[in-house]
Structure 1
Amino acid sequence: MTPSPTPPASQPAAAAHPFEALTPDLVLDALEAVGLRGDGRLTALSSYENRVYQVHLEDGTAVVAKFYRPGRWSDAQIQEEHDFAAELMADDIPAIGPLALQPAGRETAGTLHHFGGFAFSVSPRRGGRPPELDDGEVLEWIGRFLARIHTVGARKPFVQRPALDVQTFAVEPMQWLLAHQMVPLDVQTLWAERCQQAIDLIAARADMAGANGQNKTNSSGIRQLRLHGDCHPGNILWTPTDAAASAGPGPHFVDLDDARTGPAVQDLWMLLSGDRQQQTRQLGLLVDGYEQFREFDRAELALIEPLRTLRLIHYSAWLARRWSDPTFPVNFPWFGSSDYWKGQIQMLEDQIEAMDHDPLVV
């Protein structure tokens, strides 16, 4: 087997990763600095991009502390995420955003804090389970809340956070992977050809680059708005209707870390699975719920496969760029081999074929 890729020269494998300094003591000290005293119980939650911990407090409650990956977002971009979450919660939309806390010596409360070289936020803990996406009522319910999220998202544009477009999600990642020799030579030429072929199809069919990240329509008439951005089932907590939970029954949307500007369908397509017939049924139920609150532009259905392809290309670059983080080689040991890239070539070929087919219709 070809060995996994080594990090680029700017991130040597021997260098300590910033997250190695994020010890349990530092996490507890950071919370104490914003007035929250932990009782010593701390559990790392599943997260690769950032570091997220459930922390039990001395008063018997628990919170979730999120420490942002250094260098990924600016403070202004993180604050814009927090402000978007606050807008959603103000409209009684079940998004889980950070708490406003006032550290000692600070004149006002805020949601973004700094300690030990890390930016962090603290959110209330909410329980829940993955949504049952084969349940029509669940899909309609999620569709209704997505429409409400998008109604808020359409009110004004993001200023600091970027757009979802072909340049940043496909062209630049492809160029970076090739420039840093992350693709083995035996498959590099074919992967690059298929990648470029897919990018050309996206550009021709979807015009993903329009609107310059603003809350406008792009040149193909698709409206751009503020999105959750990463609305897969793992970012929806479902509370059963018969549960006695403070958050209330139904879906609760978490992790706005990837919030950005894009088309509304970006927040729907990751909830689809199975064959074309199954996806058509699922999409129809989501849209039925969605249109109880907001019109859905059927022209956006042509973007589903281009968006899926963008995510496929971006994902490989994301893994490669994070390889100096010790958690990545441990959790993704299969990444970087010739077999991995051969699989990517096959998936790109499948996506090229999918983009040549008629889009889903609901």
Structure 2
Amino acid sequence: MSHFYALDNDQQVSCLHELANTALHQWEGSFSELTLVKYRENAVFSARRDDGQRVALRVHRHNYHTEAALRSELQWMEALAAGGLQVPEVIPTRDRQQLVSVYSESIGEPRHIDMLAWLAGKTLGTSEHGVNADDSTPDVFHAAGALAARIHTHGERWEQPDEFVRHAWDEEGLIGHQPFWGRFWELDALTTDQRQLLLAARRRARIDLRRYGRNLSNFGMIHADLVPENLLLDKAKLRLIDFDDAGFGWHMFELATALFFCLDDPRYDQMQASLLAGYQSVRALTKQDLAMLTPFLTLRGMTYLGWVHTRAGSPTALELTDFLIERTCKLAGRYLDSALPET
């Protein structure tokens, strides 16, 4: 493993900033104001081109996604944009490449890097602190539901390219032997009782997911990260960023993701009702779809526990682990006490 991972957070950021600055030379124009915006899976930098264009430069985590998967993400974003959705424009290099690989001695491994046009707008909040207080919140969640439905409808009709590669938030990816974000039940911070509760919910979910099934009406390409910080409101327009988690999954898992960090908000019932109403203004949901919201909220929590387990020591894991355990265990208990309608 590269020596980079033994560095503290500030030292890692310094190395990534140096790499990003070097990579910018592969794009047309000169750039200034290179500033770190976010560092979780990827390091996302903001920069200003000499023509005034603000851009987002993404330095991808090593070996998290394959090159083919990263190119597929950009391909899907372009397809969504062509379908009229408000997503970031992909900016190619001088050589018309959407994705480049750059090596840095200070990091000791190559990193894939791409550039996107910066979307204007204000985020709805953060995963850590929830949704901002605003009287327009119900309208925003209605718009978010409609946006999710348009994405799912696009996926149902989209002719997927032969070489398209993305991960799956399916049974194996969520609760299989090796879930996509890690074996959440092995998280050291869990007590014995908490671990047994989560494993019981995992066993129940296997049955419910298989009974629910997969078809074009409930499963396909999803954004998979409709959290407050990835939804931008610019005047009356709602825009979507950060497609790094996008993959194949259940549509209701998408909606559960949008609600997970809002569960303790006093406006939650209104948020949920608005989200579902917005979705159903574009695309129908069955009784069975709606009944799967509680299971998918639980499964979403399990994925987050897998994330902090496999990224122990990161600032985000240190901040969120206790909160995620408490919330996911509460959801698991509620799920095990519930009964799904027969299909």
Q: What TM-score bracket applies, with the shorter chain setting the length? A: 0.7 to 0.9
Q: For residues 10-62 of structure 1, give each alpha carbon's deviation from its aligned partner in whole angstroms, at most 9, with x where no partner exists.
A: 899974599568443321220111224213x2110123110000012233332
Q: For residues 127-172 of structure 1, give each alpha carbon's deviation from its aligned partner in whole angstroms, at most 9, with x where no partner exists.
A: 2113458533323222222222111111245842122123322343
Which residue of 2 is the match for residue 162 of structure 1? Answer: 167
Which residue of 2 is the match for residue 356 of structure 1? Answer: 337
What is the CA–CA distance in structure 1 between the aligned matches of 2:293 and 2:196, rounded to whole Å?
22
Report runs of 4+ in structure 1 exceeding 6 Å deviation: 10-14
Once the two structures are TM-superposed, the CA of residue 358 in structure 1 deviates from its matched residue by 5.7
What is the CA–CA distance in structure 2 between the aligned matches of 1:89 and 1:170, rounded to whole Å?
32
What is the CA–CA distance in structure 2 between the aligned matches of 1:269 and 1:178, rounded to whole Å?
20
2:78 is equivalent to residue 115 of structure 1 = no
2:285 is equivalent to residue 291 of structure 1 = no
Which residue of 2 is the match for residue 74 of structure 1? Answer: 66
Which residue of 1 is the match for residue 221 of structure 2? Answer: 226
Q: Assess, with a 3 A threshold, how the Cα gap between structure 1 residues 96 and 346 changes in structure 2: closer, same or farther.
A: closer
What is the CA–CA distance in structure 1 between the aligned matches of 2:229 and 2:251, rounded to whole Å?
19
Q: Assess, with a 3 A threshold, how the Cα gap between structure 1 residues 195 and 286 changes in structure 2: closer, same or farther.
A: closer
Q: Which amino acid aligns with 1:252?
A: R
What is the CA–CA distance in structure 2 between the aligned matches of 1:133 and 1:118, rounded to whole Å?
42
2:188 is equivalent to residue 207 of structure 1 = no
Is the 1:165–1:209 contact (alpha carbons within 8 Å) kept by the matching residues of 2? no
Higher mean displacement: 196-205 or 295-304: 295-304
Which residue of 2 is the match for residue 3 of structure 1? Answer: none
What is the CA–CA distance in structure 1 between the aligned matches of 2:168 and 2:117, rounded to whole Å?
28
Greater relative CO, 1 or 2 (CA 8 Å, sep 6+): 1
Q: Assess, with a 3 A threshold, how the Cα gap between structure 1 residues 355 and 80 changes in structure 2: closer, same or farther.
A: farther
Q: How is 1:1-362 mapped onto 2 (pairs within 5 angstroms)?
A: 15=6, 22-39=15-32, 41-103=33-95, 109-116=96-103, 117-131=110-124, 132=134, 135-155=137-157, 156=159, 159-171=164-176, 172=178, 176=183, 182-183=187-188, 188-207=191-210, 211=214, 216=215, 223-241=218-236, 250-272=237-259, 273-274=262-263, 279-323=268-312, 328=314, 330-333=315-318, 340=322, 344=325, 347-357=328-338
Which residue of 2 is the match for residue 6 of structure 1? Answer: none
What is the CA–CA distance in structure 1 between the aligned matches of 2:325 and 2:5, rounded to whole Å?
29
Determine what percentage of the aligned residue pairs are the same residue: 20
What is the CA–CA distance in structure 2 between the aligned matches of 1:28 and 1:346, rounded to whole Å?
40
TM-score normalized by the length of structure 2: 0.79
What is the CA–CA distance in structure 2 between the aligned matches of 1:62 and 1:275, rounded to whole Å?
35
Instruction: Flag structure 1 segments of 5+ consecutive residues without an equivalent.
Output: 1-9, 104-108, 242-249
Tell me how many residue pairs correspond in the alignment.
317
What is the CA–CA distance in structure 2 between the aligned matches of 1:112 and 1:319, rounded to whole Å?
28
Once the two structures are TM-superposed, the CA of residue 92 in structure 1 deviates from its matched residue by 1.4
What is the CA–CA distance in structure 1 between the aligned matches of 2:141 and 2:75, rounded to whole Å?
27
Is the 1:166–1:310 contact (alpha carbons within 8 Å) kept by the matching residues of 2? no
Q: For residues 190-249 of structure 1, give each alpha carbon's deviation from its aligned partner in whole angstroms, at most 9, with x where no partner exists.
A: 3331221010121222338955xxxx35xxxx63111111111111000123xxxxxxxx
